[in-house]
Structure 1
Amino acid sequence: MLTIDNLDVWFGFPPDRVDAVKQAAFTVSQGESFGLVGESGSGKSTILRAVVGLIDSWSGRIEVAGQRLDGSRRDHDFYRTVQMVFQDPYASLHPRHSVDAVLHEALKLQGMQDIDRRINTVLDDVGLGRGFRFRYPHQLSGGQRQRVAIARALAGDPRLLLLDEPTSALDVSVQAEILNLLSDLRKEHGLTYVMVSHDLAVIGHMCDRLAVMQHGRIVEVMDVDALRQGQGQQDYTRNLIRASAGYERA
């Protein structure tokens, strides 16, 4: 579903150029949930933004469902295949647009038919129901706003979701609800996930495999079982695991 090979991403121009991602490489199979972990500034979110077309200063190879991407141009079919859920559920929603307006716009842009029925369906899918349809973001809790953001991402029936710290801005009790929702949606819709998180417990719960990043480079790709057992091959990975108290699921 996703192939990243020899990916470099940078910002600015010499002599002030900053190399944010350096020679990253990994693959994600259809139906897999793949994690990207590492300290802040290691390049995790930058990879997702390059994939989705929010950054155009990159080189290397990015392929989605066998289609090679070029620069920041993404056509209509790409966004029918790939959607992204961002970290801050309030900032990613227009404060003056109702839930209905947000979902209607997404469905219209995706060229979907029977929009009214589809809005009710995606709201049911994310556990909100039709009673939330005409509410505004300020009338919703953080968890409810993130459910709307997930509903918007699901509106066009994508196959790949890029999840950029989707629960880090939420209370701990709400985080579990959103993670369980994402797990259920993946099973129900056959979705593929690429999830960025600094929380190893989240990755351990959600992912099958993961890549560990440091200073823009992938230092190790490992199975989640190795993460749970603290068996990283690289010193940095083992130190990261030790520094993350309670990374294992109870």
Structure 2
Amino acid sequence: MSAPILEIRDLRVWFGNPPDRVDAVKGVDLTVARGESFGLVGESGSGKSTILRALAGLAPTWSGTITVDGESLRGTRRSPAFHRRVQMVFQDPYASLHPRHTVDRVLSETLRLQGMDDIDRRIGKLLDDVGLGRGFRFRYPHQLSGGQRQRVAVARALAGEPALLLLDEPTSALDVSVQAEILNLLADLRVERGLTYVMVSHDLAVIGHLCQRLAVMQGGLIVDQLTADDLRAGRADSAYTRELIAASRSYAGREA
């Protein structure tokens, strides 16, 4: 069995200093296998996005151990090799793209930063891979729909040919019909490219659609870990997770 691509042990993340210190993550252990799609779910403030930020070097104060593809992370500095292996897709596809940069500029600058050659061909392939096509190459973000902007964000994340994508609520700003399109795209890309995903969402249905395993967070702690099959069957150890599942099913029933 190959070594996991991500191992987290006793991760603690906090903000501020006493007496105003806020402990956002309170001792989390996680292991994600190479090629797996793993979900982190919970209410706002549960600590799920903070874990991704600690991984990406965006959380200034944390302790514990984080190992990505054999590299042990320290503080907020990340090596060039880390940024080739790990990329992040954010929640808001408009805010994450420069409003005065065309799609071509966004992708070409990213490819050059990652040390890639044959830029012209690679841009065309990236646009094809995310279902946009080359006609979108010289458009600006304001000329794109929300779903199209998120496809550009995914293409940018893929430019350096990473192994691990961190997905922070990547569909929550999109209409429901567009959400499904982006989730299906991500599912296809994971298989085609052998990617590993760690995905954060407050929506159990979204996590169940894309992820094989998930951890449920509450108050900075993991209160449950279960498979997608467990989720669909309503099997959970904690009362909190069972309540989340029941609430999700009730909401889905009202929507139908």
- How does the TM-score come out when normalised to structure 2? 0.95
Question: SS at 1:239's partner residue?
Answer: helix
Residue 232 of structure 2 aligns to which amino acid in structure 1? R
1:235 maps to which residue? 239
Question: SS at 2:54's partner residue?
Answer: helix
Q: CA RMSD in A?
A: 1.2
Aligned equivalents of 1:247, 1:80: Cα separation in 2: 39
Aligned residue among 115, 119, 125 for 1:111? 115
Identity value in percent: 73
Aligned equivalents of 2:79, 2:124: Cα separation in 1: 27
- Displacement over 4 Å in runs of 4+: none
Q: How far does the alpha carbon of each residue in 1:178-206 deviate from its partner, in whole angstroms, 9 at most, with x for none?
A: 00000000000000000001111111111
1:221 maps to which residue? 225
Residue 203 of structure 1 aligns to which amino acid in structure 2? I
Question: SS at 1:124's partner residue?
Answer: helix
Aligned equivalents of 1:114, 1:52: Cα separation in 2: 28
1:53 corresponds to 2:22: no
1:94 maps to which residue? 98
2:166 maps to which residue? 162
1:178 maps to which residue? 182
Aligned equivalents of 1:108, 1:131: Cα separation in 2: 22
Q: Is the 8 A contact 1:209 1:223 kept in 2?
A: yes
Q: How far does the alpha carbon of each residue in 1:9-68 deviate from its partner, in whole angstroms, 9 at most, with x for none?
A: 011111111000010111000000000001111001100011011112100010101111
| Aligned residues between the structures | 249
1:6 maps to which residue? 10
Identify unmatched segments of 5+ residues in structure 2: none
1:124 corresponds to 2:128: yes
Give the Å deviation of 1:244: 1.0
Question: SS at 2:135's partner residue?
Answer: helix
1:15 corresponds to 2:19: yes
Q: Is the 8 A contact 1:241 1:247 kept in 2?
A: no
Give the Å deviation of 1:247: 6.3
Aligned equivalents of 1:49, 1:105: Cα separation in 2: 23
Give the Å deviation of 1:165: 0.5
Aligned equivalents of 1:46, 1:185: Cα separation in 2: 25
1:30 maps to which residue? 34
Question: SS at 1:14's partner residue?
Answer: coil
Aligned equivalents of 1:205, 1:108: Cα separation in 2: 34
Residue 82 of structure 1 aligns to which amino acid in structure 2? V
Question: SS at 2:246's partner residue?
Answer: helix
